[in-house]
Structure 1
Amino acid sequence: MDPRTSAQDVMRCDLCETAVVQMHCDTCLVNLCNACVGQHVISDESKKHEIVKFQSRKSTPLYPRCTTHNKQQCTMYCNQCDIPVCTKCIASGQHLSHRISEVLQVVEEKKNKIIKELTELNETIYPTYQDIASDVQNTMSQLEKEYGDLSTAITKHGEDWHREIDKLVKKLKAEVDEMKNTQLQTLHKHLDEINKTMSDIKDEIDSVEMAIDTNDLSKLFSVTSNVHIYTNLPQKLAPSPLKFISEKIHGEKLSKLFGALSFSSLTSDKHGYSMKTTQKSPEAGSSPPVKQLLDEPETVATIDTGYGELYNVACLSDEEIWTSGNGSTMKLYSINQGSLLKSITTKSGNMPSDIAVTESGDLVYTDYYDRTVNTVKNEKIEEVIRLQDWIPRNVCSTSSGDLLVIMDSDDYKPTKVVCYSGSTEKQTIQFDDKGKSLYSSGSYSRYITENRNLDICVSDWGAEAVVVVNQAGKLRFRYTGHTPAPKNKPFNPLGITTDSQSHILTSDYYNHCVHIIDQDGQFLRYIDCGLSEPYGLCTDTNDNLFVAQRENRKVKKIKYMC
């Protein structure tokens, strides 16, 4: 066969490779000429060879073999067992009262479904992914440009600094030379005066010695002593040289002076892309529907947890909540039935400082004495973070799957918020733009949550304030309570949570209520509902509020929006 023309050649028999194809074995998927059909059939007599014309190839259905009755073809299908069956299976009574269909009918339905899905893959899904890939490529190109511009700006800023430093060094050295010359001139003049006096003293000595050696008495009487003049010694000039008082250069201070990079991250938005379609569909808004606060919030459920003291509550779903108190056990409760579903004991046996639930539904808890942050997956505890010189306090899970951990130093002086991706530290939030600590010092309780607008909200008991920073860690506002307070007590916030409207809710322990403020720190209202010493808070997807009450050990579910 000429390779130059083989692409245009007719198809040849798979056996003899010379004759033109005329037939096809649908069983073996082999192309045959008329002469080779018999040879192919007898080559493997264990099979039932379905020989058809080449134009009708793949038209013979190849039924699956029965796994129970060997060599039997499964021409029927049991819809209840969801498996192909043969006639012997049906006759055996194994599928009695089950709905039985013909395999070809089920295959046809399956084929239609597959064709429909294939059409969707070809016409909708694959083009959508092409657009997404193009968008990611464009984003990468833009990112390359932006980071290139950023590097150029940093280099230029460094060159500006070098120029200014060179000018400053030149100016300081000129001042040093000028002061040196001035003081040297003064000392030279002073030295000349001393040398002149020394010359006068030498002349005086010579004159006196000559008078003593002569026998001329008149010369001796003419000698006048000037010793008293020379005993008045000249002043001592002790120049005080200039000193260069240098500022010690260390990384943190230099970084603040030179400039620092703001926090950056790759955020994940599962609603960021929409499926490509040629059909009109209603617009999908990313903003939640607007809800209004109820005039009178109402308690819709109460769950008794049985702890000696109850501290924390976290929503697993709209039907289930995790709780923790003064023991080492974390309990999962059914909200509607109030029944205990599951208990998990901390790995160390210590009381958990705080609990949270991740986007994937895993439980997270902090262990104060063990200095660890742990996750519970399928009832197995896994240590995620272990700290040194710092003590983990409270924790929350962000919309991107990261963990925000509040921690105190060993001496309880600095307090900071650290963002972790897994066990990797991504960001530290500790100071405002004036270098002052954002959070109070001391072993106070501080709860943390992320708002819908990605603000990071901390209830700071020691500061009697709710401290809110943006995603980059820059202070947005401090909320210090509202007057008059229900019990006229100081504002001591504990638990904190947010809802679909970006409201911030925080428990006020001594005033036995919950404050609702908007995302900019404006007070909206109190929630009372007979609360007693409210501690931890959480909200579910329907904006119901759950309040852990410390002394009475009960969680209240409160409806406050409609």
Structure 2
Amino acid sequence: MDPRTSAQDVMRCDLCETAVVQMHCDTCLVNLCRACVGEHMVSDESKKHEVVRFTLRKSTPLYPGCKIHDKQQCTMYCNQCDIPVCDTCLASDQHLGHKLLKILQVLNEKKEKIIKENIELNQIIYPTYQDIASDVQNRMSQLEKEYGDLSTAITQHGESWHREIDKIVQKLKAEVDEMKNSQLQTLQKHLDEIKKRISEIKNEISSFEVDVDYNDISKLLRVTSNIDRHRKLPEKIVHSLPTFSQGRIQKLCKIFGTLISSSFSTSEKTGYSMKTTQQSPEAGSSPPVKQLLDEPEIVSTIDTGFGYLYNVVCQNDEEIWTTRHNSTMKLFSISQGSLLKSITTKSENMPDDITVTISGDLVYTDYWDKTVNIMRKEKIEEVIRLQNWRPSGVCSTSSGDLLVIMESDDNKQTKVVRYSGSTEKQTIQFNEQGYTLYSAGTCYRNITENRNLDICVSDNRAKAVVVVNQAGKLRFRYYEHAHTPKNKRLSPLGITTDSQSHILTVDSNNDCVHIIDQDGQFLRYIDCGLSRPWGLCTDTNDNLFVSQNYLNQVKKIKYLQ
């Protein structure tokens, strides 16, 4: 057909190219007029030509040819071998006992699947990707603005510093002038006294010369001299310059302000969701947004009668486990404050840390026995036994794995190991540059998993909270925030997270709890009269439980709305 007049043309027979199309061969995909049907049927007698009316074209299924037997059409499908088969294949023993389906049934199922997938692609996936692209573009624009605001803030801060430095320079120079003038006045006064003495000496010299010229004995006897006074020279006044103690420029960056590095994180739980008119299960399980209270409040106090209290972990919303400086672990009722159960470790060593699995079993680490143990149905079982390493902190993850902090016997290495049961799945020890993530040497280290699957460790020796992603890549280190309640250095011990992905860590030096967001930004302190806080955990309602080491108490604190 002429493209320039195709709108007015009708379809012509592919054989004679003159008559109007009336028929169609579904086997050869050829358009025919009625007169040419016979000629087409005999053109290739090896094929079974399926000629239908043009309006019913493509209605006849094209059976695939058998790859083993030439010129045989496959009308069946072997589900086990996942291939089409012909009658000759079926007559052989090759597919004996296999599940066979009519190939048309497989064709229809495949068509239905393609149709459904095409609908999903068109109505759900494609619009979702369009929304994602729009979201990324919007965030790029927002990023440009936010980074611009950040640069402006740094510039303004720098200008403020320049003004303050100018004031400091002027003040110091004024002090220098004042000190100089004071010392010059002192030296001038001293000079005046010396000049006065010089004048007196000159007068005496002149007087002596006159007196010596006379021979009048009586007059000479009356001459007196002040030479003894002049022999005693005046004290020498030595000035000293003030010293200018220069601040170390190397520390200027830290004083001026620092940037906490940004990062990108990806997670199936916190990422994009498919566009749909119905709420997905994931969306349904997303926690409601809760704001921090202006003033955290102590809801209740549980007096454990348990000297030197250490760890605390929720068994559920009604019960908490605690440990102390002996081999005993105790379970308390939160509402009643009463003792429900007391368990002794298998080795009678002090447990270094405790956690509760998603199935409700208590797990504890035995540092000296080099084991990780679990209590099931009142019976303690050894889950992990280490060689050349000693376990300290432990936590149970949302997937049911155990994360264990361990130290080498020579106290030169520290690492985090993920276990599925007793099988080691992952080791986290070094950053991308090959440097160690955690400090070496014996100290208290606790571990927890955030909702975004980040792994958070309170490293007391390093005075930091170290956070890596699920793959073990360093996301950030949190050292401290300015103006701590007691202005002492951060001393992190217990650590936990909540439904908002906040990270909370005890600061025993400052008797408070630091709250930071999942990217390491400081949010606030919980400072409500805590004394030597140590262990930390949250329940499903975001109530915070803090153990107090010296007071032998556990405080239940509400800090979210």
Fold match (TM-score > 0.5)? yes
Matched with 1:420 is: 468
Equivalences for 1:433-512 in 2 at 5 Å? 433-434=483-484, 435-439=487-491, 446-458=493-505, 467-471=513-517, 472-477=521-526, 494=535, 496-505=536-545
Task: Report the TM-score, using the length of structure 1 for normalisation.
Answer: 0.66
AA matched with 1:429? Y
* CA positional deviation for 1:398: 1.7
Equivalences for 1:128-527 in 2 at 5 Å? 128-212=128-212, 220=220, 223-231=223-231, 233-251=233-251, 255-256=254-255, 258-261=256-259, 270=269, 275-277=274-276, 284=284, 286-287=286-287, 317-318=358-359, 324-326=365-367, 327-330=369-372, 345-346=385-386, 348-358=387-397, 363-369=402-408, 370-376=413-419, 379-385=424-430, 386-387=436-437, 390-391=440-441, 393-409=445-461, 415-421=463-469, 422-424=472-474, 426-430=476-480, 433-434=483-484, 435-439=487-491, 446-458=493-505, 467-471=513-517, 472-477=521-526, 494=535, 496-505=536-545, 515=554, 517-520=556-559
User: Equivalents in 1 of 2:364, 2:286: separation in Å?
Assistant: 31
Q: Indicate if the aligned counterparts of 1:452 and 1:498 stay in contact, CA closer than 8 A.
A: no
* CA positional deviation for 1:195: 2.6
AA matched with 1:190? H
- Aligned Cα RMSD in Å? 5.5
Instruction: Please list the CA deviations of residues 353-372 of structure 1 after superposition, one character each: whole Å capped at 9, or x if unmatched.
Output: 12334556654322222322
Matched with 1:540 is: none
* CA positional deviation for 1:452: 1.7
User: Equivalents in 1 of 2:337, 2:93: separation in Å?
Assistant: 62
**Structure 1 unaligned regions, length at least 5:** 441-445, 482-489, 523-562
Q: Indicate if the aligned counterparts of 2:488 and 2:509 stay in contact, CA closer than 8 A.
A: no
User: Equivalents in 2 of 1:389, 1:301: separation in Å?
Assistant: 36
Q: Could you say if the C-alpha distance between residues 194 and 330 of structure 1 is closer, same or farther in structure 2, counting changes exceeding 3 Å?
A: closer
Of 204-213 and 63-72, deviating more is 63-72
Equivalences for 1:87-98 in 2 at 5 Å? 87-92=87-92
Task: Report the TM-score, using the length of structure 2 for normalisation.
Answer: 0.66
User: What SS does the corresponding residue of 2:513 show, helix, strand or coil?
Assistant: strand
Q: Indicate if the aligned counterparts of 1:375 and 1:384 stay in contact, CA closer than 8 A.
A: no
Instruction: Please list the CA deviations of residues 169-212 of structure 1 after superposition, one character each: whole Å capped at 9, or x if unmatched.
Output: 12321332243234324423432442342243134224424543
Q: Could you say if the C-alpha distance between residues 57 and 429 of structure 1 is closer, same or farther in structure 2, counting changes exceeding 3 Å?
A: farther
User: What SS does the corresponding residue of 2:429 show, helix, strand or coil?
Assistant: strand
Q: Indicate if the aligned counterparts of 2:504 and 2:515 stay in contact, CA closer than 8 A.
A: yes
Equivalences for 1:99-118 in 2 at 5 Å? 100-118=100-118
**Structure 2 unaligned regions, length at least 5:** 291-315, 320-334, 431-435
User: Equivalents in 2 of 1:429, 1:504: separation in Å?
Assistant: 22
User: Equivalents in 1 of 2:380, 2:69: separation in Å?
Assistant: 50
Q: Could you say if the C-alpha distance between residues 226 and 143 of structure 1 is closer, same or farther in structure 2, counting changes exceeding 3 Å?
A: same
* CA positional deviation for 1:161: 1.0
AA matched with 1:451? D
Q: Could you say if the C-alpha distance between residues 504 and 367 of structure 1 is closer, same or farther in structure 2, counting changes exceeding 3 Å?
A: same
Q: Indicate if the aligned counterparts of 1:312 and 1:355 stay in contact, CA closer than 8 A.
A: yes
User: Equivalents in 2 of 1:181, 1:509: separation in Å?
Assistant: 60
Instruction: Please list the CA deviations of residues 508-562 of structure 1 after superposition, one character each: whole Å capped at 9, or x if unmatched.
Output: 89999x957244299xxxxxxxxxxxxxxxxxxxxxxxxxxxxxxxxxxxxxxxx
Q: Indicate if the aligned counterparts of 2:490 and 2:509 stay in contact, CA closer than 8 A.
A: no
Q: Indicate if the aligned counterparts of 1:376 and 1:382 stay in contact, CA closer than 8 A.
A: no
Q: Could you say if the C-alpha distance between residues 312 and 240 of structure 1 is closer, same or farther in structure 2, counting changes exceeding 3 Å?
A: closer
Q: Indicate if the aligned counterparts of 2:317 and 2:540 stay in contact, CA closer than 8 A.
A: no
* CA positional deviation for 1:499: 3.2
* CA positional deviation for 1:56: 7.0
User: Equivalents in 2 of 1:262, 1:109: separation in Å?
Assistant: 55
User: What SS does the corresponding residue of 2:74 show, helix, strand or coil?
Assistant: coil
* CA positional deviation for 1:453: 2.6
User: What SS does the corresponding residue of 1:242 show, helix, strand or coil?
Assistant: coil
Instruction: Please list the CA deviations of residues 58-88 of structure 1 after superposition, one character each: whole Å capped at 9, or x if unmatched.
Output: 5553434556767654322355776544334
Q: Could you say if the C-alpha distance between residues 322 and 204 of structure 1 is closer, same or farther in structure 2, counting changes exceeding 3 Å?
A: closer
Instruction: Please list the CA deviations of residues 96-127 of structure 1 after superposition, one character each: whole Å capped at 9, or x if unmatched.
Output: 67664321122212212321221122122221
Q: Indicate if the aligned counterparts of 1:498 and 1:505 stay in contact, CA closer than 8 A.
A: yes
Aligned length: 491
Q: Could you say if the C-alpha distance between residues 423 and 284 of structure 1 is closer, same or farther in structure 2, counting changes exceeding 3 Å?
A: closer
Q: Could you say if the C-alpha distance between residues 329 and 203 of structure 1 is closer, same or farther in structure 2, counting changes exceeding 3 Å?
A: closer
Q: Could you say if the C-alpha distance between residues 284 and 86 of structure 1 is closer, same or farther in structure 2, counting changes exceeding 3 Å?
A: same
Q: Indicate if the aligned counterparts of 2:396 and 2:402 stay in contact, CA closer than 8 A.
A: yes
Q: Could you say if the C-alpha distance between residues 115 and 255 of structure 1 is closer, same or farther in structure 2, counting changes exceeding 3 Å?
A: same
Q: Could you say if the C-alpha distance between residues 280 and 236 of structure 1 is closer, same or farther in structure 2, counting changes exceeding 3 Å?
A: closer
Q: Could you say if the C-alpha distance between residues 320 and 119 of structure 1 is closer, same or farther in structure 2, counting changes exceeding 3 Å?
A: farther
Q: Indicate if the aligned counterparts of 1:365 and 1:373 stay in contact, CA closer than 8 A.
A: yes
AA matched with 1:163? R
User: Equivalents in 1 of 2:339, 2:47: separation in Å?
Assistant: 73
Q: Could you say if the C-alpha distance between residues 201 and 467 of structure 1 is closer, same or farther in structure 2, counting changes exceeding 3 Å?
A: same
User: Equivalents in 1 of 2:355, 2:318: separation in Å?
Assistant: 22
User: What SS does the corresponding residue of 1:351 show, helix, strand or coil?
Assistant: strand
Instruction: Please list the CA deviations of residues 415-435 of structure 1 after superposition, one character each: whole Å capped at 9, or x if unmatched.
Output: 332222424251223456234
Q: Indicate if the aligned counterparts of 1:11 and 1:20 stay in contact, CA closer than 8 A.
A: no
